[in-house]
A and B are shown apart, each in its own frame.
Chain A
Amino acid sequence: MTLICLLLAVFCGLVVGPTSIGTSRIIGSLFAHLGIGHSTLDTMQTTIVWQLRAPRLVLGLLSGAMLAVAGGTYQGVFRNPLADPYLLGVAAGAGLGATFAIMDVGHAVSTPTWTPLIAFAGAMLAVGCTWLIGGRGMSSNASTLVLAGVAVAALLTSAQTFLQQQASANSIARVYIWLLGSLASASWSSVNLALPYVLVCITICVLCGQALDVMSVGEDEARSLGLPVRRVRTLVIIASSLGTAAIVSVVGLIGFVGIIVPHIVRLVVGTSYRRILPISVVVGAAFLVFADTIARTAVSPSELPLGVITALVGAPVFVLVLSIRRTQQ
């Protein structure tokens, strides 16, 4: 079922678009890439499919998968249903980094290719600060870390606001667009930038499902059951934050995926993270590609911000999930 959704999403990502190209010809081109038969697409169409739609599709899949699994992992490790991938300051850090880059503070980094790298550095710096302030995960209670994340995020957001106040209207608009999150600038180079981190981080998160199930009885009890709680916590926080930072730095801030997908999955497969996490990877990937398909076709030829779609679709679905949960209880 989830795999069918994923295939359907892949289909939408490649076939649906302002330029209409026949499904069979795209499939033909796909096979041609695999060395079977010949592509019937002209140069323009080939560029549209392979240089615009395909990298955008792949980046959408990666982003959705990573944000969903990171959200699910955080909800498990902090035992907090409201946890999302931006909990420890990733968003605020990346936002400040991107603002720096876009406003070209210090006039050192004028090319837009630097934006993701500086956003990534900002995100990792923010999580690093949270980690240090929150006691490097050594405290017996993870909530210290969450509170440290709130403090770091508040500080960095205020710094970002301060910077924006000094900026021109033009660069404020660009920062604003970046903050809304979009797959519009996806290219194979942005895929390459995020791919290694995301693949490794998703694998680690999914493998930790069993450990997160043990942690659902609380950290003290998990320790008495023989789980190295601090090591697990450190590992999953690093994996989730690193993967999220990599995604945020190339696509900006896309809200709601990380919180809504694990909740929907939980509703269907139950509370075990051994099932929730791998299925969230697939559902998250499909969800984001569907959302992006709407974002780029609803008001074609212009585009809606992806974050608007995820929230617009996400919020009502989330309300539905909550009401189903209530009747189940």
Chain B
Amino acid sequence: MSAIDIKNLTVKAGAKTLVNDVTLSVEAGTWLTIIGPNGAGKTSLVETVAGIRKIDAGSIAISGEDIRGLSERERARLVALVPQNPLVPGGMSVRDYVALGRTAYHGMLRAPSAGDRAIVDSVIERLSLQEFAKRNVATLSGGERQRMVLARTLAQSTMVVVLDEPITGLDLRHQMDLLELLKKEVADCGLTVLATLHDLTLAGQFADRLVLLDHAQVVLDGPARDVIRNAELASRYGMQLRVVDVDGADVVVPVRS
């Protein structure tokens, strides 16, 4: 059974079609990254999978359950989201922020239980956030903050994690660190990852499968190696690209025309 099963999905905002008849399935325990030019519909697609956008046609099933039939709480136990621009409420401590990930388990009227707190502590430890646990979230650097958002997402204890541009604004080292952390979670816990990334080199290096989205539709879908080398990729971005093999890793280089 696939972890994410998207069938003929259409999402609209007013008259504009953001996602047009997309069919896509992601095997459990694999990493699929969606690439594509700005405005292709990547964010709309992943936000719909995470349940914060309305489905206009088609269906999305997570671990076999149609998400439209689920309450917010039930859905949040199946899929967690790292949004593109997480809103970080100043004044809150890092531990309290990570604990927000347990909302779907303790409910809206009750505080986190001892079990919830134990899970929060273990995630904080796994992502090496202990020294920040008591700090005000507003005082973290970009890299620390993004690691904290990932911790909140993992505290949600879902088998499917959706990430929208998780490394935007981070320096190279922090980009790699965050993706390596996530890769480790995929390997250790069997997570299924659906991500969007702009960096084609990193997209190719970390995903099992790449999907190129353009004009709200799937254009290419296949193993990272093949998609990156496909001539269609460059034409969709409207520019020339070269793929260079550096010690076995594919590096995508833009070429000035």
**Which positions in A face B, CB cutoff 8 Å?**
207-208, 210-211, 213-214, 216-218, 220-229, 232, 270-272, 274
Within B73-100, the residues touching A (CB, 8 Å) are 73, 75-77, 80-81, 83, 86-92, 96, 100
> How many pairs of residues, A versus B, come closer than 8 Å at their CB atoms?
76
Bound-state Cα–Cα, A221 to B92, Å: 16
Q: List 17 A-B contacts (CB under 8 A).
A: A207-B109, A210-B110, A211-B108, A217-B88, A217-B100, A218-B87, A220-B47, A220-B52, A221-B52, A221-B81, A223-B72, A224-B80, A224-B83, A225-B103, A227-B108, A232-B108, A274-B111
Quote the shortest CB–CB distance from A28 to chain B (angstroms).
43
Choice from A208, A222, A226 contacting B77 with Cβ under 8 Å: A226
B200: Cβ under 8 A from any A Cβ: no
Closest to A232 in B: B108
Task: Given the known inter-chain contacts A210-B111, A214-B108, please indicate yes or no for A228 contacting B71, CB distance below 8 A.
Answer: yes
Is A208 within 8 A of B87, CB to CB?
no
Task: Given the known inter-chain contacts A223-B52, A224-B80, A226-B72, please indicate yes or no for A272 contacting B108, CB distance below 8 A.
Answer: no
Chain B residues with CB below 8 A from A214, complex form: 100, 103, 108
Chain A residues with CB below 8 A from B77, complex form: 226
Is A221 within 8 A of B73, CB to CB?
no
Is B108 within 8 A of A217, CB to CB?
no
B156: Cβ under 8 A from any A Cβ: yes
Task: Given the known inter-chain contacts A221-B83, A271-B89, please indicate yes or no for A226 contacting B76, CB distance below 8 A.
Answer: yes
Choice from A208, A226, A271 contacting B103 with Cβ under 8 Å: A226
Chain B residues with CB below 8 A from A225, complex form: 76, 100-101, 103-104, 152, 156
B51: Cβ under 8 A from any A Cβ: yes
Tally chain B residues at the interface, Cβ within 8 Å: 31
Bound-state Cα–Cα, A213 to B107, Å: 12
B50: Cβ under 8 A from any A Cβ: yes
Closest to B91 in A: A271
Is B50 within 8 A of A224, CB to CB?
yes
Is B109 within 8 A of A217, CB to CB?
no
Is A211 within 8 A of B109, CB to CB?
yes
Q: Mask for B125-136, Cβ within 8 A of A = 1, else 0? A: 000000000000
Bound-state Cα–Cα, A221 to B81, Å: 8
Chain B residues with CB below 8 A from A207, complex form: 109
**Which positions in B face A, CB cutoff 8 Å?**
47, 50-52, 71-73, 75-77, 80-81, 83, 86-92, 96, 100-101, 103-104, 108-111, 152, 156
Bound-state Cα–Cα, A216 to B88, Å: 8
Bound-state Cα–Cα, A228 to B104, Å: 10
Closest to A266 in B: B91
Chain B residues with CB below 8 A from A223, complex form: 51-52, 72
Quote the shortest CB–CB distance from B114 to chain A (angstroms).
16
Q: Which of A221, A224, A232: most chain B Cβ within 10 A?
A: A224
Quote the shortest CB–CB distance from A237 to chain B (angstroms).
15
Quote the shortest CB–CB distance from B170 to chain A (angstroms).
19
Choice from A216, A224, A272 contacting B81 with Cβ under 8 Å: A224
Bound-state Cα–Cα, A217 to B89, Å: 6
Quote the shortest CB–CB distance from A46 to chain B (angstroms).
43
Chain B residues with CB below 8 A from A216, complex form: 87, 89, 92
Is B73 within 8 A of A213, CB to CB?
no
Choice from A213, A217, A229 contacting B86 with Cβ under 8 Å: A217
Bound-state Cα–Cα, A272 to B73, Å: 22
Bound-state Cα–Cα, A214 to B100, Å: 6
Bound-state Cα–Cα, A229 to B71, Å: 11
Chain B residues with CB below 8 A from A210, complex form: 108-111
Bound-state Cα–Cα, A218 to B81, Å: 13
Is A270 within 8 A of B91, CB to CB?
yes
Q: Which of B86, B87, B104, B152: most chain A Cβ within 10 A?
A: B87
Task: Given the known inter-chain contacts A226-B72, A226-B103, A271-B91, please indicate yes or no for A221 contacting B109, CB distance below 8 A.
Answer: no
Task: Given the known inter-chain contacts A217-B89, A224-B50, please indicate yes or no for A272 contacting B96, CB distance below 8 A.
Answer: yes
Quote the shortest CB–CB distance from B92 to chain A (angstroms).
6
Task: Given the known inter-chain contacts A220-B83, A225-B100, A227-B103, please indicate yes or no for A272 contacting B52, CB distance below 8 A.
Answer: no
Task: Given the known inter-chain contacts A207-B109, A208-B108, A220-B52, please indicate yes or no for A227 contacting B91, CB distance below 8 A.
Answer: no
Quote the shortest CB–CB distance from B151 to chain A (angstroms).
13
Chain A residues with CB below 8 A from B96, complex form: 213, 272
Bound-state Cα–Cα, A302 to B23, Å: 77
Chain B residues with CB below 8 A from A208, complex form: 108-109
Quote the shortest CB–CB distance from B85 to chain A (angstroms).
9
